[in-house]
Amino acid sequence: MSAVATFTPNQTLQLPLEIVQQFQPSDRFIVWQKGDTLHLKRMAPSPLKAVAETPAEEPLSLDEINDIVHEVRRQRHERDKK
């Protein structure tokens, strides 16, 4: 998909609606520039964040921990393939 984004006077990048609809307001992005090309990559939230945010009085089950470990390994495998 290819579309035109607009750099506005208040120094924000306005993305086309068909692209914006694919994201959530809380999504975060890594941005880098090479020459005149701007790269924008959505950051996948770490599954480990769920572990850190779990209240001590409500520990995760072994199945939940197992699912998180498998997801972290899957993400690392995907990253290493690139």
Give the whole-angstrom CA distance, residue 71 versus residue 63: 12
SS3 of 53, please?
coil
Model confidence pTM above 0.75: no
pLDDT tens for each residue of 59-76: 888 898 888 888 888 888
The predicted structure's pLDDT at residue 82: 66
* Residue recorded with tokens 């086309």: 16
Length of the chain: 82
Please say whether the beta carbons of 3 and 16 come within 8 A: yes
Domain ranges for the chain, please list them. 6-43, 48-81
Which two tokens mark 50?
């769920």
